[in-house]
Every structure is written in structure tokens, then in C-alpha cells.
Structure 1
Amino acid sequence: MRISTVTMFEQSTASINRQQSDFLKVSQQIASGRRVVNPSDDPQAASRAVGVDQSKAMNQQFSDSRVSARNSLSQTESILNSVSDAVTSAKTLLIQASSDTLSDVDRESIASELNGIYETMLGQANATDGNGRYLFGGYKDNAPPFVKSADGNVEYNGDDSLRQQRVDASRLMPVAENGATVFQGVPSGAGYIADANTENQGNVTFRGPQLTDVNDPGYGDSYRVVFTEDATLDSGISYQVQRFDNGAWQENAADLVASGEYVGEGQQLSFGGINVTLTGSAEPDDEILIAQAGSEQRGADLFRTMEAAIRVLETPAQSDAEKAALRNTLNTSMRDLDNALDNVLTVRASAGARLNELDVIDAVGSNRKLNYEQTLSDLVDLDYAEAISEYSLRQVGLQASQKAFVDIKGMSLFDYM
């Protein structure tokens, strides 16, 4: 069979091109450090690598989200720490103001200090994060959550939601608190609070309420003590303890819990598993509310408590009724501040727990990232020892093809004649 010169040239060129292609492929692998440079190199590994790379990118997004969540929670925790310090300072001032040795001027000076703490609390309640969003407004974070109304009272304009952020595939975490929870909430174990009507004309003061029996059927209900005129009694004044029914007073016998003659001087009234001690003279239609903190009848509000305390300290107390109003308001305010402090500390503990949880999720995310990187390396990364051996082999193959072509090209029948 005769082999033409064209055929020899074509076969030699094809061999050289094939050897050069294999050599360049190995060179490209060594230069990039990847075994799979093009999907055609290993379609199955390339396909799996795309999925792993996407999972790795998502894991990185969650990691970035946790950074944002940690910043928000850290700032929230710091502000709550400042608020708890402010509440403690306010409680200290109210204890000081309760002394009977202080004059009206002294109490007015304390009211001025208390007003400074009040303004500090308001500023903290309207704090923003690094992006200009209000921390305590819930999802309504584009406007101050707490504003002063025309009558000077602070009102909450945020929503009741907790702003949440996804920090992992299976974890949607609250990254801020709403103002209603922090400044208008009470801890779950908050007890009863007594609150005298501001329109009382007598000088009745109270001590307590004290818990006596949580198993009492009436424990948890709200009550009011109402004083009425009764000429048949030696003191001329009787009291009635009435229970709220469905959030309102109902004038029927079923709501009357206790009644009797009011004599004052440390008289104790026991009902609904609690005990309250009353002292002083009562006038007809005087009232004292006794309800659980945070209930419908006695909603919690840190700013309202501060406003009431400042107002009563700024008002001169000359008559017995004014002095009784001062003592009652300070006692009620101190109990409210105790509940507010417990609530702020509870919320702060919750924020701290979430910060700890972020640390745990970060550790899991870091391990997951390492696993993804290892899987990607196994799929597409290059084994340099094997690649260098292959590179040397392909280089020898290319040189051999070139040498063979040169030798074949120079062959002629005349060499054998």
C-alpha cells in the first residue's frame, strides 16, 4: 500500500496537535490550580461544584447577616443597660424624696433631677442604629417611637412587632425590641400595685399590698376600695372592696368582696389572696385601686410613672390630703419602678441570650464553611504531584511527536538507492 506524502503530513500534524492540546491542558491546570478548568473536564464534578459553591455563598450571606444582627443586639443591650441604671437612679431619688424631713424646695430639687433622668430615658427610647433606624419602634422604624403629646405625656407610636432577621437557614431571630415591651411591659411575676385616686379628699395612705395566698380564688382579679358615708357607724365611714367584672365595675352584689367600718390607724383589709394596710382619715367617695401590674386596669408605663412622680414632687404638700397624695404616689411609683427595672433586666437578658446564640451559630457556620471548602477542593482542585508528572509526560510526548514528524518528513527512497 502506498502512503502518500499528504497522508504522512496530516497524521503527523494531528498527532502534534493532540499532544500539544494535552500539554496545554495540563499547563492550564497547573497555572489555575484547578483540576476542572472547564465543565467538559469533569461534567459530574463541575455540576456538584456549582451546587456546593452556591451553598457556600449562601452561608456567607448568613454570616454577613449575623454581623448586622450582632451590631443591633449589642447596641440594644447597651441601651437597656443605660435604662436600667436610670431606673435605679430614679428609685434612689424617690426613696430620698420619701423622707418627711424634706421641704417643698428640697422635693422640687429632686424633681428637677428626676426630670433629667426622664429626658435621658426618652432619648434612649428613641435611639437609632448605625443605619438611622429606630431601635425600639418595631417595623415602624422610620420615625421616633416615643413622642410627647400636646399635654406633655409620652405616647408610643411604634408597632407591637419585633424586627426579625434571618441569621441562618433555620433561624429567624429578633434583632431589636419594641418600645412597648421595654417601657410599657412588666415581668411575668409582677404582683399587685395600689394606686390612690388623685381626686381623693381624705388623707388615707396605704402600705402594701402584700401577697398572702396565690391559691385564693380571687387572686389575679382587680379590686377597688371605695369609702362611703354611713351615719350608723361610730366612725361614720364604711369601706367596700369591689371586684372588676369583665374590665368594668358592675353595680351588683356579686362584685362586693368585703365591706365594713373604716377606722383607719393601720387597719388591714384582706381579700383575693392579698393584704393591704390603710392609715388615715377617709372622705366619702375616696377610692384606692388595687390591681396587678400590667393588667387592663393598671397598665404599665415607665414614662407615666416618672411623670406622676415628677408632678407630685413639684406640687407643694401643705394639707394632710396633699401629704397623703405625696406618700401614696411615691409608694406607687417606687413599686412601678421596681417592676420596670425587673422588666428591663429581663429584656436585656433576652438580648444577651440571643448574642450568645449568634456565637454558637457563627461557630456552626464556620465549620460549615470549612466543609464546603473541603468538598470544593476534593471536586475541582488539582493534585500538583500528579499534575507535574502528567506535565512532564505530555511534554515528552509532544517532543516525540515533533521529532517523529521531522524524521518522517526527511525520509526519501533515494536514501536507499
Structure 2
Amino acid sequence: MRISSVTMFEQSSASINRQQTDFLEVSQQIASGRRVVNPSDDPQAASRAVRVDQSKAVAEQYAEARVSVRNSLSQTESILNSVSDAVTSAKTLLVQASSDTLSDADRQSVASELRGVYETMIGQANATDGNGRYLFGGYAESAPPFVKNTDGNVEYKGDSNIREQRIDASRRMPAAENGETIFQSVPSGAGYVAEAVKTDASGSPLTGPAARNDGSVTFNGPQVVDVNNADYGDSFRLNFAEDAASGEPTVSVQRFESGTWAAYDPAGDGSLTEAAYTEGESLSFGGVEVTLSGRPESGDQILISQAGSEQREPNLFRTMEEAIRVLETPAETDAEKADLRNTLNTSMRDLDNSLDNVLTVRASAGARLNELDVVDSVGSNRMLNYEQTLSDLVDLDYVEAISEYSLRQVGLQASQQAFVDIKGSTLFDYLR
């Protein structure tokens, strides 16, 4: 078989090109630190690496979301701590104002200090995060959630939703709380609250001067005496009237049922229907007990309802407004003094419920911060797994690569030397 010089040159050239290609591939791998530089190097590994890289990118997005949620919850927890301090300060001021030794001027001084606490609460309720979004407005985050109406009372303008953010593939976490949850709610199991306020036919408390009693009747309680009573948890109302014959005050108990107020007398003996009022007596009904003092006027009412019920919706700002109102009003008549005592008693119970609620919400925020730590730990382990998988798929074994590099270098040098030897092989060198 005859092999031409052209064939030898072509084969030698092709051999050098192959050796150069192999040598270049190893050089690229060493330079990049990756075994799979191009998809053609290992199509299956390259395909799996793309999927792992995508999962890693999603995990990184979740990690960034957790940072955002953590910042929001940390701000929420800090603000709730300030709110709880403010509620505690308000309760302390009301206890101070309840002293009979204080004059009207002293109570007005307390009211001034209480108004400062009130304004501080409004500022905290309208707090924003680092991006200018209002924390406690739900998804209505572009405007202040709490604003004063024309009467000077604070109203909630946010929505009832809680802003959530996905922090992991299977977990959406509330990133904040809405204002209703903090300032217009009570914890589950909150007890009864009494309020000397008149109500309309639907059971809703009246507002303004029409809501105030005209007499000097005051209450102590309500105290729970039987939580197993069949009617425990219902709303009740004490109605005061005047006996037509004697002109003496009478009292009757009503219960709110089926959307209206109805006479209440579970014993059937008339003990809770209209009866003569006796100062200092205690009335028991529905598992609670109330002690009455002072002299009522016809038309006076005392609402006794569980905090958070339909008849008495909780509102921390309304509680503060009522307390400030009564402290700023001189208590000269018996009716005004009764209004002062009843309002302060009601406000202190409301503040206790509000403090319990704020602490409950704060505990919830703290629990979510703890959960974020757990999810962060799981996410970090997942990221390590992704990085290890990517390393196994595409990263370079430098020991093996350097050995391959040396081998390819020797092969290339051998090909080049062989080409030189073949090129120099000619019969003309032997002709003399």
C-alpha cells in the first residue's frame, strides 16, 4: 500500500489539531475552574445544572423575602413594645385620676398628659417601614390607616387584611398586622365590661351628650360568678325608670337576643323584671354580678357586655378619647361625678383588655421572627445542598485536570515532533 506525502502531511496536521483542541479544552477547564464549560462537554450534567441553578435562584429570592419580612416584623415588634408601654402609662394616669383627692385642675393636668400619650399612640399606629409603606393599614399601605374625623375622633381607614409575603415554597407569612387587630380588638376570652351609656333599639351605644346618664348611679364590677350559666356570654342592659305611684327609681334587666332587647327573667319569678331600686344592692344575672350605688334617673342605662361583642366593639382610641373627655370636664354635680367614676372604671377595664391584646399580637410577631430563624436555617442548608450538587455536576477536579493537562501537553509536543520528523523525511537527502 502506497502512502503519499500529502496523506502523511494531512494526517500529521489533523493529529496536531486534535491534540491542540484537547489541550485547549483542558486549559479552559483549568482557567474557569469548571469541568463543564460548554453544554457539549456533558449534556446531561449541563441540563441538570440548569435546573439546580434555577432552584438556587428561587431559594435566593425567598431568602431576600425573609430579610424583608424580618425587617417589617422587627419594626412591628418594636412599635408594639412602645404601644404596650403607652397603654401602661395611660392606665397609671387613670388610676391616679381616680383619686377623690384630686381637684378639677389636677384632673385636667392628668388629661393633658393623657392626651400626649394618645397622640403618641396615633403616631405609632401610623408608623411606616423603610420603604414609606404604612405598617398597620393592611394592603392599603399608601395612606395613613388612622385619621381623625370631623368630630376629632380617630377612625380606621385601612383594610381588614394582613399583608403577607411568601418566604418559602410552602409558607406565606404575615409581614405585619393591620390596625384593627392591634387597636380595635381584644384577646379571646376577654371578660365583661360595664359602661354607663345609653343604647338605641339595635343595641348600639349612643354617642355625644345623649349617651350620658342624667342620674348619679355608679356601678362596681361586673364580677363573674358563674361561667357555666346558660346565658353567660350574652349582652345585658340595666334600665332605670320611675315608679308611677311612689316616684322611686326602679331597675330592670334586658338581654340582647335575636337582634333586639328583650326582658330577661330566667327564674320566672319576676326578680329581674322591673323592681324597686335599692342603693348598694347587687344584681346577679347571666353568670355576672354588678353592685350599684347612687340614684339613677328615669331613662338611665348601664350596658354590660363582653369586650369585643357586637354591642361593644373594642376601640383603644375611643377609650382614650372618653377618658380625656371626662377628665377635661369639671365634675361639679352628682351626675358629673358619677360620669367621671363610671367612665374611668370602664376605661381602665378597656385598657387592661387592650394591653392583653397588644401583648398577644406582639407575641405572635415574636413567634414569626423565631419561625424565620428556623426557615432561614433550612434555607441555608438547602442552599448548601444546591451548591454541592452544582459542584458535583460542573466543578473541576484540579488534580485530575492538571494530570490531563500535562498529558495533553506531552501529546501535543509529540505530535509536533512527529510532524517535524515526517516533514524532514525525503529521498533527496540520500541523493549525492
Normalising by the residue count of structure 1, what TM-score does the alignment of the two structures yield?
Answer: 0.97
Task: Determine the structure 1 residue equivalent to 2:336.
Answer: 322
Q: 2:369 and 2:75 mapped to 1: Cα distance?
A: 11
Q: Which of residues 245, 249, 255 is equivalent to 1:237? A: 249
Task: Determine the structure 1 residue equivalent to 2:296.
Answer: 282
Please state how far the C-alpha of 1:16 moved relative to its aligned partner: 0.3
Q: Which amino acid aligns with 2:415?
A: S
Please state how far the C-alpha of 1:202 moved relative to its aligned partner: 1.3
Please state how far the C-alpha of 1:38 moved relative to its aligned partner: 0.4
Q: 2:342 and 2:265 mapped to 1: Cα distance?
A: 29
Q: Which amino acid aligns with 1:366?
A: S
Task: Determine the structure 2 residue equivalent to 1:390.
Answer: 404
Greater mean alpha carbon deviation, residues 284-293 or residues 193-202: 193-202
Contact 1:241/1:257 (CA < 8 Å) preserved in 2? no
CA offset digits 1:324-349 (Å, max 9, x no partner): 11000000000000000000000000
Q: 2:26 and 2:271 mapped to 1: Cα distance?
A: 94
| Aligned partner of residue 155 in structure 2, secondary structure | strand
Please state how far the C-alpha of 1:260 moved relative to its aligned partner: 5.0
Please state how far the C-alpha of 1:283 moved relative to its aligned partner: 1.5
Q: 2:278 and 2:51 mapped to 1: Cα distance?
A: 80
Q: 2:363 and 2:259 mapped to 1: Cα distance?
A: 32
1:145/1:334 Cα in 2 relative to 1: closer, same or farther (>3 Å)?
same
Contact 2:253/2:263 (CA < 8 Å) preserved in 1? no
| Aligned partner of residue 320 in structure 2, secondary structure | helix
Please state how far the C-alpha of 1:262 moved relative to its aligned partner: 3.9
Q: 1:280 and 1:264 mapped to 2: Cα distance?
A: 9
Task: Determine the structure 1 residue equivalent to 2:70.
Answer: 70
| Aligned partner of residue 182 in structure 1, secondary structure | helix
Q: 1:387 and 1:89 mapped to 2: Cα distance?
A: 72
| Aligned partner of residue 237 in structure 2, secondary structure | strand
Contact 1:257/1:271 (CA < 8 Å) preserved in 2? no
Contact 2:194/2:303 (CA < 8 Å) preserved in 1? yes
Contact 1:195/1:288 (CA < 8 Å) preserved in 2? yes
| Aligned partner of residue 259 in structure 1, secondary structure | coil
Q: Which of residues 339, 344, 348 is equivalent to 2:353? A: 339
Map of 1:205-216 to 2, 5 A cutoff?
205-216=218-229
Task: Determine the structure 2 residue equivalent to 1:220.
Answer: 233
Q: 1:279 and 1:110 mapped to 2: Cα distance?
A: 26
Contact 1:139/1:163 (CA < 8 Å) preserved in 2? yes
Task: Determine the structure 1 residue equivalent to 2:5.
Answer: 5
Contact 2:254/2:264 (CA < 8 Å) preserved in 1? no
| Aligned partner of residue 150 in structure 1, secondary structure | coil
CA offset digits 1:45-85 (Å, max 9, x no partner): 00000000111111111001100000000001100000000
Please state how far the C-alpha of 1:229 moved relative to its aligned partner: 1.4
Q: 2:359 and 2:342 mapped to 1: Cα distance?
A: 26
Contact 1:239/1:261 (CA < 8 Å) preserved in 2? yes
Task: Determine the structure 1 residue equivalent to 2:94.
Answer: 94
1:139 aligns with 2:139: yes
Map of 1:29-108 to 2, 5 A cutoff?
29-108=29-108
1:210/1:92 Cα in 2 relative to 1: closer, same or farther (>3 Å)?
same
Unaligned stretches of 5+ residues in structure 2: 198-210
Contact 1:205/1:328 (CA < 8 Å) preserved in 2? yes
Please state how far the C-alpha of 1:415 moved relative to its aligned partner: 4.6
Q: 2:212 and 2:25 mapped to 1: Cα distance?
A: 94
Contact 2:135/2:141 (CA < 8 Å) preserved in 1? yes
CA offset digits 1:286-331 (Å, max 9, x no partner): 1100001111111100000000000000101111111011000000
Q: 1:54 and 1:30 mapped to 2: Cα distance?
A: 25
Q: Which amino acid aligns with 2:260?
A: A
Task: Determine the structure 2 residue equivalent to 1:353.
Answer: 367
Aligned residues: 416
Contact 2:252/2:275 (CA < 8 Å) preserved in 1? no
Q: Which amino acid aligns with 1:124?
A: Q
Please state how far the C-alpha of 1:171 moved relative to its aligned partner: 0.6
Q: Which amino acid aligns with 1:343?
A: N
1:86/1:252 Cα in 2 relative to 1: closer, same or farther (>3 Å)?
closer
Q: 2:184 and 2:259 mapped to 1: Cα distance?
A: 19
